Amino acid sequence: MMDTAVRLVYREVATNEYGMAIMVWAEDEELACGYDATAIKQVMDGAQVILTDARLRLPNGTTLDNRDRFKVTKRFGEILADPPTYEILGEPRQGPSGLLIDLRLVTDGSDAAEGA
């Protein structure tokens, strides 16, 4: 696998005054991966709907929580100047050469990792 992503592990660190969880994503291990940034789209009633923004292939045996995120840091061994951060969509599935994960680009501004 020629790409690299950093796993951002989900944690709830406290609750706010409304009882809602304060969530952070702490940087964890760097993983070799296969990154495909091709969005999968579907046409519904004349409008295009994006189902996934990207797909990641990880080594067999990788353990995940569906609330974890991934920051793609290297593409074909080259460091990305503005690495995208993604959240996991659906359940990871076993592919012929590794674990396949559908991803959606994080746009809520909470992609910063704890301590980063």
Can you give the pLDDT at residue 52?
A: 82
The Cα–Cα gap between 109 and 107 comes to 6
pLDDT mean across residues, the chain: 85
Q: Where are the domains of the chain?
A: 3-105
Residue 1 has pLDDT above 90, yes or no: no
What number is the average pLDDT over the span 1-9? 93
* Domain 3-105 CATH class label: mainly beta
Better-scored residue on pLDDT, 45 or 105: 105
Can you give the pLDDT at residue 27?
A: 92
**CB within 8 A of 92, min separation 6: which ones?**
58, 64, 99, 100, 101
Tokens of 60: 């067999």
Helix ranges (DSSP H) in 1-116: none
Residue 116 has pLDDT above 50, yes or no: no
The Cα–Cα gap between 95 and 97 comes to 6
The string of pLDDT tens digits covering residues 33-83 is: 999 988 777 676 777 666 788 999 999 888 888 999 999 999 999 999 999
Residue 109 has pLDDT above 90, yes or no: no
Q: pTM for the whole thing?
A: 0.78
